């Protein structure tokens, strides 16, 4: 795939993922144009003055809730990466309709605008919390996934194709527990909700490269899942603040002990490759199932969960993983 003649739009482009995606795309792929679509003029200004002033960049103020603005922004666009979302679990629980308007209706607007504008590829970012959701955020992302995948059915004779990526917690991203633990360390006490808790982890850079790889491979209808390590949250706390007291404060409403990236039901249509899984739609005449020839089927009863994962980060592994974020924190550059 030749990126140099492509125009890329990223919703939520001023977020942690959006900025890293933009930087890596400019350095490694050099597309014709990248459009940063977001609703916050201050964050766009801060992004510009932080060095994101490449001549290929364009900044569009707009909200994914506004379909007309999306259609205007997508004129001439080849690829859309849909990263805009309300993602803080407590905020979504307290403001449920706002989460639905952004995460579900906003995704619907992105789909409709992409179809009307003739965009070739749309890749939406999802989360492990969409698998067997226990909170409203997860439920909205599950609905968004279903919208994206099934939109291939009514793309009709157009060439627009829709797929998703689904991965776990991103180390050091906005709202991550890593900045929280780094901030709590100086007080001598770190809080976790349950000592049994496990999570999937990947770096922001890993997430970006995974998205780029999936854009290049997608046919439409897939949910791409990377193979990534698990860690115990208590080990993460010990790696960041080894001298601090750990206080167990109790699991929060809507929080799970363990997360899953592939459910047992989804595993029946999932193909395993060397570095990722491809969840194929259960039934769709528009999907060719070409992935069957590229990998292998999963065994009956398989599910991909953070507590039964075969790949784990121990405390030393975690320290190496978070070293770049420790450095950024010391320099005052880590986003909380």
By percentage, how much of the chain surpasses pLDDT 70?
96
Euclidean distance between CA atoms 99 and 85, whole angstroms: 8
Euclidean distance between CA atoms 33 and 26, whole angstroms: 9
Rounded (5°) CA angle 215-14-6: 35
pLDDT at 275: 96
Euclidean distance between CA atoms 207 and 116, whole angstroms: 29
- 72 contacts 61 by C-beta, under 8 angstroms: no
Rank 139-143, 178-182, 279-283, 290-294 by mean pLDDT and report only the highest: 139-143
pLDDT at 180: 84
- 120 contacts 78 by C-beta, under 8 angstroms: yes
Domain residue ranges in the chain: 3-330
Confidence at 333, pLDDT banded by 50, 70, 90? low
Mean predicted lDDT score pLDDT of the chain: 93
Mean pLDDT value of segment 5-26:
96
Mean pLDDT value of segment 205-227:
96
pLDDT at 158: 86
Q: Phi/psi class of residue 328: alpha, beta or left (left: φ > 0; alpha: ψ in -120 to 50)?
A: alpha
Q: Which of 121, 129, 141, 232 does the annotation list as catalytic?
A: 129
- Does 334 have pLDDT greater than 80? no
Helix-strand-coil percent breakdown of the chain, rounded to 5? 40, 20, 40
Top pLDDT among 80 and 174 is at: 80
pLDDT at 221: 94
Confidence at 266, pLDDT banded by 50, 70, 90? very high
Mean pLDDT value of segment 217-238:
95
Mean pLDDT value of segment 172-180:
75
Pick the CATH number of 3-330 from 3.50.50.60, 3.40.50.620, 3.40.50.720, 3.30.70.260: 3.40.50.720
Listed residue (31, 38, 36) closest to 52, CA to CA:
36
pLDDT at 323: 81
Q: Is the dihedral of CA 134, 163, 83, 326 positive or negative?
A: positive
Mark whether 129 is an active-site residue: yes
Mean pLDDT value of segment 8-23:
96
pLDDT at 37: 98
- Does 287 have pLDDT greater than 90? no
Mean pLDDT value of segment 293-315:
95
Confidence at 336, pLDDT banded by 50, 70, 90? very low
Mean pLDDT value of segment 166-170:
91
Which own/partner pairs from 274-277 qualify as long-range (CB within 8 Å, at least 24 positions apart)? Answer: 275/226, 275/227, 276/210, 276/224, 276/225, 276/226, 276/227, 277/224, 277/225, 277/227, 277/304
Lowest mean pLDDT among 37-41, 106-110, 172-176, 284-288: 172-176
By percentage, how much of the chain surpasses pLDDT 90?
78
3-state secondary structure of 199: strand
**Neighbour-count burial for 116-150, b at 16+ CB within 10 Å, e otherwise:** ebebebbbbbbbbbbbbbbbbbbbbbbbbbebbbe
- 68 contacts 108 by C-beta, under 8 angstroms: no
Top pLDDT among 286 and 65 is at: 65
pLDDT at 124: 98
pLDDT at 152: 94
Euclidean distance between CA atoms 335 and 16, whole angstroms: 8
pLDDT at 174: 67
Confidence at 186, pLDDT banded by 50, 70, 90? confident
Euclidean distance between CA atoms 220 and 225, whole angstroms: 15
């Amino acid at each position: 795939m030749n990126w140099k003649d492509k125009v890329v739009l990223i919703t939520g482009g001023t977020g942690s993922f959006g900025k890293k995606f933009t930087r890596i795309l400019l350095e490694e792929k050099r597309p014709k144009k990248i459009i940063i679509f977001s609703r916050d003029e201050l964050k766009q200004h801060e992004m510009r003055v932080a060095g994101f002033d490449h001549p290929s960049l364009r900044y569009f103020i707009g909200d994914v809730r506004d379909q007309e603005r999306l259609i205007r922004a997508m004129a001439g666009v080849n690829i859309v990466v849909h990263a805009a979302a309300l993602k803080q679990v407590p905020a979504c629980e307290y403001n449920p309709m706002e989460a639905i308007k952004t995460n579900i209706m906003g995704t619907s607007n992105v789909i409709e605008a992409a179809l009307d504008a003739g965009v070739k590829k749309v890749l939406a970012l999802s989360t492990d919390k969409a698998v067997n959701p226990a909170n409203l955020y997860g439920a909205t992302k599950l609905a968004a996934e279903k919208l994206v995948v099934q939109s291939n059915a009514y793309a009709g004779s157009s060439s627009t194709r829709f797929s998703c990526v689904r991965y776990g917690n991103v180390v050091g991203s906005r709202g991550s527990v890593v900045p929280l633990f780094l901030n709590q360390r100086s007080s001598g006490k770190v809080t976790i909700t349950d000592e049994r808790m496990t999570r999937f982890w990947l770096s922001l850079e890993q997430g970006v490269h995974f998205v780029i790889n999936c854009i290049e491979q997608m046919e439409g209808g897939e949910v791409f899942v990377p193979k990534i390590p698990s860690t115990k949250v208590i080990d993460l706390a010990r790696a960041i603040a080894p001298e601090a007291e750990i206080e167990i404060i109790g699991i929060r409403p809507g929080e799970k002990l363990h997360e899953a990236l592939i459910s047992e039901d989804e595993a029946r249509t999932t193909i395993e490759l060397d570095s990722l899984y491809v969840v194929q739609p259960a039934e769709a005449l528009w999907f060719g199932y070409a992935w069957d020839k590229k990998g292998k089927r999963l065994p009956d009863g398989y599910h991909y969960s953070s507590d039964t994962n075969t790949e784990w980060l121990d405390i030393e592994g975690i320290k190496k993983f978070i070293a770049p974020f420790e450095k950024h924190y010391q320099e005052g550059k880590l986003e909380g």
